[in-house]
Structure 1
Amino acid sequence: MYLLVPDNTRIETNRIIVEGDVIVGNHSSVQYCISGDTVIMGEGVAVSGDVVAFSDARIDMWSKIGSGVKVGRNAYLGEFVTIDGKLIVEGDLDVGKEVKIKGGFEAKGWIIVRNPVPVIMFLLLYIREMMRLGKGEEVEKALEELFDDSEEGEKLDGKEPAEKVLIIPADTRISPEAIEVGGKAVIGSNCYLIGNLRVQSVETGKNLILKGSISSEGNITIGENSTVYGNLISKGQVHIGRNSRVFGGVRADAVFLHEKARVDGTIKAPSGVSFLREASGEMPPLAEVNALGKVLMVEAEEPLKGETEENLIKAADLVEIDSLIKTGPKVKIGFVPGMEKKSARTRSLARTRHFAGPRSQRKRQEAGEHQS
């Protein structure tokens, strides 16, 4: 179970805009308007705003739409569906019993009143029958046609159909305050999102703009050229890509930060902070931390081995980015190796012993010669 957000998706103040299709799992709650090509909703889905489907729309039983529904082609409504606004269908309307449309409806095609097969059951029965007959290729072709953007079956900008589908898993809660998902979240490139993310783990593409924080049980990966106006909190690892910026703090077990990325807040990582550096033709210098907490650059003895695009540079024992000296309960404040703090009386006695020692030894030697 995961949330899949395709490229160029925008979750704005009151609307979700998707260039491809939208699939909403059972018993999910979406406090936005939804706009996409084909819109498919499972059982018990609640949408507070309008639903706009440029192609087909299939809304399963017991679902509720808080405003109007506009469909560019055909619409399928299951039993006990409630639409508080007006329903406009450019094609055929297949509607079940006990459907309530408070704002009235307009349909330019055929209107059929019956009990449509539930969306999920329809797909499961169809796939099971095709697999029983050994027609796996027909199943794959049917799924591709289901999420095709055009009647002619043209390709979607050279991408697979699945890359243009917004998938909202079952029992997901999406509101302006937070996006709560019980599993993983995968966010494409060039997306604009408003709201906090609460997920098991999250991975984003390039050029993301997120106006909110991310809270995750697992890893958080922020792609290149992205901007996050909030905090990143993870019990696992946090990866921040090149030219990305976080206007907030980062708290995780370990942090991997590109050298060209920027974090305006405090970074806390018990397992350390690692810096990612781009590969170059020359041997890159290594970053080391001395006892004073200063970063010293030294030449590497051998070329670093690793990926062709990035090399990993790790500053050992880093806990906070703004506090490079790792202190413990037994470490004195301000301690520097070889320079213990001594009182003035202790230093004076040490100088006296240093000069008085050789003088006393010479006096004892002279007294012994006179006695002999």
Structure 2
Amino acid sequence: MAVRRDPLDELVVPDGTQAKEVALETGGDVLVGARSTVEFGVRGRNVLAGENVDFGGEIEADGDCRLDMWCDVAANVLVGQDAYIGERVHIGGELRVAGDLDIGDDVDIEEGFEANGWIVIRNPMPTIVFLFVYLKHLLLLGEEDTAQRLIDELVDDDGEPDAEPLVIPRNATVGDDAWRVSTPATIGSDCRLHGNVRAETIEVDTDCDIFGSLRARGEVTVGEGTRIHGDLTTRDGNVLIEADARVLGDVSCTDLELRPGAEVDGTIRADGEITMGTSERDLE
């Protein structure tokens, strides 16, 4: 995971992420910025959430789970290694931790908890707050290599190959109806998501299925073989639809470029130019 800027300045959906009926599933870590709402449960390797994050379902973390103060989880929290639970967190089900549990004051766990390791009750500086404060200072000082080592140790300390984390920025809303962020959004390949995506800019990689519309202020790119089951609208930007991609709705933009095999099933409204481009594959 690169840290040349604030890690929570972009919605990042890694390759292979699936939005299933009750949970977001990804093979890597899950990072959620403060004051966000995730209407699903989440399943990943390590799960880290800033303060005042609401989860609408169960959290399953194969590794560690860190929930800062005032988080609310509607169902169970199941942790394969260690857990940090900040003060005034509410868990609507049970908390099960295979390793150590570090827990703050006034935590409400409706169905009780179980930890196989040490249990420590204290109120240190929330881990995710410390992490991002420290990272910002390192980046301001130009210590990018040190910052990179810090995040690598956090998310890759089990020796597994690097996997890009699922990153939900601050003040975001993610649900079956819509994914709303005020930052850029990058969606990896082979993803299957439900909900309308609202972001500053949007980039969707190859072979995805997005069951909803895309709306951005700036540029929008739709990768090869991807299907957008809805309209595509940008206020001020251009749209690139790569080869064999398909938009099953209307497209509204400034300039539109359609690569070979790209399709738009609805009405095209372009204030600028509409061009039929050539893919890199055709130039070889």
Shared fold (TM-score greater than 0.5)? yes
For residues 120 and 248 of structure 2, what CA distance do their matches in structure 1 show? Answer: 54
TM-score normalised by the chain length of structure 2: 0.90
Task: Check the 8 A contact 1:94/1:116 in 2, yes or no.
Answer: no
The answer as to whether partners of 2:243 and 2:279 remain within 8 angstroms in 1 is no
Q: Find 2:60's aligned residue among 29, 45, 52.
A: 52
In 2, are the aligned partners of 1:8 and 1:189 still within 8 Å (CA)? yes
Give distance in 1, aligned partners of 2:62 and 2:280: 46
The amino acid across from 1:185 in the alignment is: A
C-alpha RMSD of the superposition: 2.3
**Which amino acid letter does the alignment assign opposite residue 108 of structure 2?**
K
Q: State the partner residue of 2:173.
A: 173
Is 1:249 matched with 2:250? Answer: yes
Q: Which one of the candidate residues 142, 146, 161 is aligned to 1:155?
A: 161
Identical-pair percentage = 38
One-letter amino acid matched to 2:223: G
Superimposed CA distance per residue, residues 99-132 of structure 1 (whole angstroms, 9 cap, x where no aligned partner) = 1101111111111111132123322565589899
CA contact (8 A) 1:76 1:116 kept: no
Residue 140 and residue 279 in structure 1: after superposition, are their counterparts in 2 closer, same or farther (change >3 A)?
A: closer
Give 2:126's aligned residue.
Answer: 118
Inter-partner Cα distance in structure 1 for 2:143 and 2:211:
46
Within a 5 Å distance, the mapping from 1:1-372 to structure 2 comes to 1-124=9-132, 139-148=147-156, 151=158, 153-156=159-162, 161=163, 164-235=164-235, 236-278=237-279, 308=283
- C-alpha change, 1:15 and 1:138, in structure 2 (3 Å) is same
**Cα offset, 1:135, TM superposition:** 8.2
d(CA) in 2 for partners of 1:44, 1:280: 47
- SS of the counterpart of 1:34? strand
CA displacement at 1:252 relative to structure 2: 1.1
Q: Which amino acid is the alignment partner of residue 186 of structure 1?
A: T
- How much has 1:180 moved relative to structure 2? 0.3
Instruction: Please state whether the residue corresponding to 2:197 is helix, strand or coil.
Output: strand
Matched positions, count: 275
Q: Structure 2 CA distance, aligned partners of 1:74 and 1:125? A: 22
Greater RCO (CA < 8 Å, at least 6 residues apart): 2
Query: Contact 2:92–2:109 (CA<8 Å) still a contact in 1?
Result: yes
Contact 2:49 2:128 in 1 (8 A): no
Q: Using the alignment, how far apart are the partners of 1:133 and 1:265 within structure 2?
A: 50
Q: CA deviation at 1:219?
A: 1.2
How far, CA to CA, are the matches of 1:28 and 1:114 in structure 2? 25
Q: For 1:72 and 1:267, locate their aligned partners in 2 and report how far apart those are by CA, in whole Å.
A: 49
Counterpart residue type for residue 22 of structure 1? V
Inter-partner Cα distance in structure 2 for 1:221 and 1:197: 13
Question: Shift in Å at residue 198 of structure 1?
Answer: 1.0
Residue 84 of structure 1 aligns with an amino acid whose one-letter code is G
Q: Is contact 2:86-2:107 (8 Å) kept?
A: yes
Contact 1:70 1:87 in 2 (8 A): yes
> Structure 1's 207 and 129: CA in aligned 2 closer, same or farther, altered over 3 A?
closer
* Deviates most, 115-124 or 22-31: 115-124
Distance 2:141 2:225 in 1: 49
Unaligned runs of 5+ in 1: 282-307, 310-372
Q: Compared with structure 1, are the counterparts of its residues 78 and 264 closer, same or farther at alpha carbon in structure 2 (3 Å cutoff)?
A: same
What amino acid sits opposite 1:54 in the alignment? D
Larger helix proportion of the pair: 1
Quick one: which amino acid aligns to residue 105 of structure 1? F
Residues of 1 paired with 2:49 and 2:264: CA distance? 39
Structure 2 vs 1, CA of residues 66 and 147 (structure 1 numbering), >3 Å: closer, same or farther? same
Deviations 1:345-371 (A, max 9, x none): xxxxxxxxxxxxxxxxxxxxxxxxxxx
Normalising by structure 1, we get a TM-score of 0.69
Partners in 2 of 1:120 and 1:89 — Cα distance? 19
Deviations 1:137-181 (CA, angstroms, capped at 9, x unpaired): 554323211111x62x2423xxxx5xx101100000111111101
Contact (CA 8 Å) 1:82, 1:100: kept in 2 or not? yes
- SS at the partner of 1:49? coil
Determine which structure has more spread, i.e. the larger CA radius of gyration.
1
Shift in CA distance, 127/237, structure 1 to aligned 2, threshold 3 Å: closer
